[in-house]
């Protein structure tokens, strides 16, 4: 290797540690409240990350006063025993307040949650739902709680994997027709389906996060049904407008909505008529729409 230095012999350059955090991810938490014959069930995947003075651990290998990530995991389970009584957002505040208090080098951090939703199994004997049998639902509830000092918090809540579909009242017309590459025919009657992912920020320091989440969840579904949709973009915008109208606690909301194509299958070659009844669900590729909807004032 003439004219070059061998690996490991290069002079060290000056570097410094940039933004950093550490903690525990993929903590799988389930809590069952058994105080009465009618049990309550909560389940969430949790990530906790801490900010602070961790320079010596990186530059010198000095672990003095560092909270072990194993301790972080144990703390999530331990605090859930007496806590985790209301929302994941409030539990996030509790966790971060704890780590700032007990960690000599911890100044702040964030907690992220993905909560699996469970509903009671309904039976003829228990139409209001079984006391201790549950079925997991598809949509997930999400939250991110962040603090720089353990006292003031920034909260973002959300929804993932809300799969909605309507069999009519949707179209796609009057778009650019490229003579060379456009093959998709215009239509005023198509199936529209999407996985709704949403997250929203708050205009207030604290609120009933459970009630707001339920309001957003129901409003998204209601707005999906209440209009003819000329595009997925228009439906996204109307959803955001409706959510901000019924939730004064929210400052803005973000949506990600893929267009899950349901294509009319060609049965004519078999001598069969297909009046938008038999469809091929095309897994990929798909259109993808993302946008924030914000208050204008």
Q: Output the six-digit token pair for 38.
A: 């009618």
Sign of CA dihedral 200, 162, 226, 238: positive
Please check whether residue 86 is in contact with residue 147, taking contact to mean a CB–CB distance below 8 angstroms.
no
Q: Which two three-digit tokens encode residue 139?
A: 């949509």
CB 49 within 8 A of CB 109: yes
Task: Assess whether 33 carries a catalytic annotation.
Answer: no
223 sits in which H/E element: helix 209-225
Cite the beta strand spans of 40-88 per DSSP E.
40-52
Closest among 289, 288, 266, 278 to 191, alpha carbons compared:
278
Is 101 noted as a catalytic residue in this protein?
no
Annotated active-site residue in 24, 93, 98, 260: 24
Catalytic residue among 39, 45, 69, 116: 69
Paired residues of 33 in beta bridges: 40
> For 29-68, where are the alpha helices, taking DSSP H only?
55-59
User: Residue 24 catalytic?
Assistant: yes
Point out the catalytic residue in the list 93, 140, 199, 261.
261
Question: Annotated catalytic sites, by residue?
Answer: 24, 69, 261
């Amino acid at each position: 290797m003439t004219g070059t230095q061998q690996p490991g012999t290069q002079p060290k350059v000056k570097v410094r540690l940039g933004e950093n955090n550490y903690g525990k991810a993929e903590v799988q938490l389930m809590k069952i409240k058994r105080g009465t014959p009618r049990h309550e069930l909560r389940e969430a995947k949790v990530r906790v990350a801490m900010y602070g003075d961790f320079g010596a651990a990186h530059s010198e290998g000095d672990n003095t006063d560092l909270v072990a990530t194993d301790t972080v995991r144990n703390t999530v389970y331990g605090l859930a025993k007496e806590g985790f009584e209301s929302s994941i957002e409030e539990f996030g505040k509790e966790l971060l307040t704890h780590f700032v208090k007990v960690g000599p080098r911890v100044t702040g951090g964030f907690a992220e949650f993905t909560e699996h939703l469970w509903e009671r199994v309904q039976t003829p004997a228990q139409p209001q739902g079984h006391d201790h049998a549950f079925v997991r639902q598809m949509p997930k509830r999400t939250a991110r709680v962040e603090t720089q000092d353990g006292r003031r918090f920034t909260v973002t809540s959300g929804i993932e994997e809300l799969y909605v579909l309507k069999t009519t009242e949707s179209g796609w017309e009057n778009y650019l027709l490229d003579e060379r590459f456009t093959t998709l025919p215009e239509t005023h009657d198509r199936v529209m389906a999407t996985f709704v992912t949403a997250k929203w920020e708050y205009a207030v320091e604290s609120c009933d996060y459970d009630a707001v989440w339920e309001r957003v969840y129901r409003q998204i579904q209601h707005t999906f049904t209440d209009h003819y949709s000329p595009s997925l973009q228009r439906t996204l915008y109307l959803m955001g407008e409706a959510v901000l109208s019924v939730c004064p606690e929210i400052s803005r909301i973000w949506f990600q909505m893929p267009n899950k194509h349901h294509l009319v299958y060609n049965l004519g070659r078999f001598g069969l008529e297909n009046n938008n009844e038999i469809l091929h669900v095309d897994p990929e590729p798909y259109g993808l729409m993302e946008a924030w909807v914000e208050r204008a004032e």
